A and B are shown apart, each in its own frame.
Chain A
Amino acid sequence: GAGVSQTPSNKVTEKGKYVELRCDPISGHTALYWYRQSLGQGPEFLIYFQGTGAADDSGLPNDRFFAVRPEGSVSTLKIQRTERGDSAVYLCASSLGGTSGYTGELFFGEGSRLTVL
């Protein structure tokens, strides 16, 4: 597709369960970002990939959160032992980061809304 695609768009789970959120970036974009947006807040940085490797994971809140991008394209954000406080919209973005002409603009998907009951 032409834009960043995120699935599922909505996920309701119970406390303690495991959740995976998927992001399919724009074709050719080498950089991929995960952000978390709680109600009434700005997007909070979680992790950033350049290719297959995590270039900056300083925003992951704890070791229950993990993300992978094994082939440098699709990424999965994994949350173990979910807690009610994990409820938020998880946003994925991609960019031409690291390539010639890159100036920092990110292209966002519409997000995955996670609700932990």
Chain B
Amino acid sequence: AQSVAQPEDQVNVAEGNPLTVKCTYSVSGNPYLFWYVQYPNRGLQFLLKYITGDNLVKGSYGFEAEFNKSQTSFHLKKPSALVSDSALYFCAVRDMTDTDKLIFGTGTRLQVFP
């Protein structure tokens, strides 16, 4: 069965500094990988996805993520954090050989300080 792990409950970063939110995954086949963001009292919003091809994926709001097959990781990154990036971030995986459901991690709260 597929799963994802987000080892950090919270990440704190100063505005203007680079940020990284970590995610590792486990699937039996080839993965589809996703990042979603959740603002307070809102639904999840899609940020980016990795399906195939270039290991560096660019998404919304200046975010990007790097797929690393050997480390089974898909870390979310941004070169320069904004206070408005403060939110809850979820990594998710779909096993291409399994059903169409996405399995989500437990989430990482990103706090960007001015």
Residues of A within 8 A of B (CB): 4, 31, 33, 35, 40-45, 48, 50, 55-56, 59, 91, 93, 95, 97-98, 102-111
B residues 37-57 with Cβ under 8 Å of A?
41-46, 49, 51
Beyond A104-B51, A104-B94, is A111–B43 a contact (Cβ under 8 Å)? yes
A109 CA to B38 CA, complexed, in Å: 11
The smallest C-beta distance from A8 to any residue of chain B, in angstroms, reads 14
Could you mark each residue 2-26 of chain B with 1 if its beta carbon is under 8 Å from any beta carbon of chain A, else 0? 0000100000000000000000000
The smallest C-beta distance from A114 to any residue of chain B, in angstroms, reads 15
How big is the B interface, by class?
Answer: 20 to 34
Residues of B within 8 A of A (CB): 6, 32, 34, 36, 41-46, 49, 51, 90, 94, 99-107
Q: Which of the residues A40, A55, A108 comes within 8 Å of B100, measured between beta carbons?
A: A55
The smallest C-beta distance from A79 to any residue of chain B, in angstroms, reads 20
